Chain A
């Protein structure tokens, strides 16, 4: 694809994402008119206007600890006149979930793109180095043991610990061979899977909640989750974008990349760390949502080519739209279905179709 078209492609995908978000917000038990949704959404656009640092009590067992809490103050410059019920439904119930879904899709698709390029392997996805398993372990532990540390925090920490363990196991003499990393990732995932299964067997009453989390879900999403996840994802993907060219060169092989001036091992560490953080951020709030990070990068590679300078942003935006759409389907039925089931159920057949129709077998 010609470079002069890049801007239009990214702008188009951004427009598609906004449209998807607005249409999604009209859907639900109470139908809301698209114009009303647009106005309510515009009202919800907050501009950070300051930081406040407060010390708040945090309950630990029978006592409480003073914990410093940093909070952002927002101003809302747009004030359309919208019926109060509609405003509440759209702004307090649907939008947090939709925006969080977009964020998670954005993060997973970006991380998947990076991992596939990094591993030069079409099977790579964001969880390949154990991030999702680590997050799942943290989350299930939080649910089963009713931990005082919030679930997303446990999941986030578990994710990063698992990724770091895989990295440390695969590294020898300052070098991390990609193949070793892949195998260590598989081994750690299997091991953590066994630990999670054991905890589920012991779970008792909390089993249902744990299983629901494991399937990936976006229900009961809050603006608070968006406030943490969205900036983290956008920031991390932004830094990853600065490494898009390095990823291109790494596709030629590590020897070539070194000959072209890439500090190969350092670049690999940075890419792994960033991709792990962005994946961990997504999994911590939404559970294990499969296929977004695998399928979306493949589809975008077919459409825009292998150059990560265009592939990374387009995949991230397409991933956001895809997950919002999938979650809209997940909550449109009579009973809510975990969104992870929808992405897999829709994604797998579509992927198989692509596999038969066109060449997906190369990264």
Chain B
């Protein structure tokens, strides 16, 4: 429905878009992501015909949008603007009825009944019927956003362009707005939307187009587009992309900047604490190894993403001698070893490995009693080990690990064990 072909735009002598191509089919929601100044809004304005590209062409339903009159263009593309503030005392119904402008006969200013039908349907579809007589200026941001979506619906165009529809909304309203847009896409519209929130974009869009410096850096499914590499390249952030357990779509976590000095660190123990430690250390640029882990451990998605050398063992089995040897070598080579909130198991191999560490940092988020499955003897062994190392929590662990091995370190303890 929307075909952007090799579009270049320069505004006031500055190249804003360079050779951008993308396509949005009917029934598809394509999200435009990218840092501020990447050219998202310019691209959207080119798609709705407000800007004529210097090179290339934007076709909507096969017709070059720049060659069409504003009226003909707006029958093809409806736009939900970024700024929905209205300073004037128009009612909700007035605003939604303005969506019928491209279909209006100039010399009939009164109620035109076929138009009213579209207005009613748009109000219903966006659950704004009850607000119809309210002044738009008295609505909340979320309500106003729905009114502007309703206006675009009344426009009855096959393609819809959204510029940051959720930029000023809280989580609840952002989700509701995007769900509504998703429904409209599924009704058979082609939607292109610039969306700031990467997770929301991943969750609601069929495909994403990552725009950087006026060009398309990546395009495809959210999984393909949102990777640690693309985030580092575009947003200049260290990020971790994992799968949101609830929505099953990519979830992006940004991390603090790189450490001054890189260290070799081995992480023993998985779970959420292990994953957090590994991700933060990797993002900060440290040389991390980890494991051994059982196949299928959730932490493996993080180690895979950062290419962390990790030994794995089949579930419910103890590590083989070979695996233990490899791991022991890694621990010996490391500046420090982390015990990431580990459970104490009867096999005792983690504690055996920990004894090899030059410098041991025990990260403890849960009390030991809830993590001990091996009895009194193993507990004493653990306590003795950590007494010679450091006990800390996730937040402090990173800075602790980044200090020089020789520096004196203040001991941090959360749970007196």
A and B from one complex:
yes
A150 within 8 A of B: no
User: Is the CB–CB distance between B94 and A259 below 8 Å?
Assistant: no
- How many chain A residues touch B (CB < 8 A): the figure is 27
* A362-B74 contact in complex given A242-B107, A245-B109, C-beta closer than 8 Å: no
Q: Chain B binding site: helix, strand, loop or mixed by DSSP?
A: loop
Which residue on chain A has the smallest CB distance to residue B148?
A256
User: Is the CB–CB distance between B90 and A248 below 8 Å?
Assistant: yes
User: Is the CB–CB distance between A363 and B87 below 8 Å?
Assistant: yes
Binds B, one of A223-231, A279-287, A302-310, A323-331: A302-310
User: Is the CB–CB distance between A251 and B81 below 8 Å?
Assistant: no
* A256-B81 contact in complex given A245-B101, A263-B71, C-beta closer than 8 Å: yes
User: Is the CB–CB distance between A262 and B101 below 8 Å?
Assistant: yes
User: Is the CB–CB distance between B69 and A248 below 8 Å?
Assistant: no
User: Is the CB–CB distance between B87 and A260 below 8 Å?
Assistant: no
Q: Which residues of A contact B95 (CB under 8 A)?
A: 252
Within 8 A of A (CB), among B77-125: 77-79, 81, 83, 86-90, 94-95, 98-99, 101-102, 104, 106-107, 109-111
CB distance from B181 to the nearest CB of A (A): 16
* A260-B74 contact in complex given A252-B86, A255-B81, A363-B87, C-beta closer than 8 Å: yes
B196 within 8 A of A: no
B155 within 8 A of A: yes
B75 within 8 A of A: yes
User: Is the CB–CB distance between B101 and A260 below 8 Å?
Assistant: yes
User: Is the CB–CB distance between A241 and B109 below 8 Å?
Assistant: yes
B73 within 8 A of A: yes
B337 within 8 A of A: no
Within 8 A of B (CB), among A244-279: 244-245, 248-249, 251-253, 255-256, 258-264
Our count of residue pairs bridging A and B at CB distance below 8 angstroms stands at: 76
User: Is the CB–CB distance between B101 and A261 below 8 Å?
Assistant: yes
Cα(A253)–Cα(B45), bound, Å = 14
User: Is the CB–CB distance between A251 and B101 below 8 Å?
Assistant: no
User: Is the CB–CB distance between B104 and A251 below 8 Å?
Assistant: no
Q: Which of A241, A255, A261 has the most CB of B within 10 A?
A: A261
CB distance from A227 to the nearest CB of B (A): 27
Cα(A3)–Cα(B78), bound, Å = 26
* A363-B106 contact in complex given A260-B74, A261-B73, C-beta closer than 8 Å: no
Q: Which of A256, A264, A305 has the most CB of B within 10 A?
A: A256
Q: Which of A252, A258, A363 has the most CB of B within 10 A?
A: A252
Cα(A282)–Cα(B98), bound, Å = 32
B70 within 8 A of A: yes
Q: Which residues of A contact B78 (CB under 8 A)?
A: 259
* A260-B88 contact in complex given A242-B107, A245-B109, C-beta closer than 8 Å: no
B22 within 8 A of A: no
User: Is the CB–CB distance between B109 and A261 below 8 Å?
Assistant: no
Given A259-B78, A260-B102, 20 other A-B residues pairs in contact with their CB atoms under 8 A: A241-B109, A242-B107, A243-B106, A245-B104, A251-B88, A251-B90, A252-B86, A253-B81, A253-B83, A255-B50, A256-B79, A258-B48, A258-B50, A259-B50, A259-B81, A260-B74, A260-B98, A260-B101, A260-B155, A262-B101
Which residues on B are within 8 Å of A, measured CB to CB? 45, 48-50, 69-75, 77-79, 81, 83, 86-90, 94-95, 98-99, 101-102, 104, 106-107, 109-111, 155
Which residues on A are within 8 Å of B, measured CB to CB? 3, 120, 241-245, 248-249, 251-253, 255-256, 258-264, 305-307, 309, 362-363
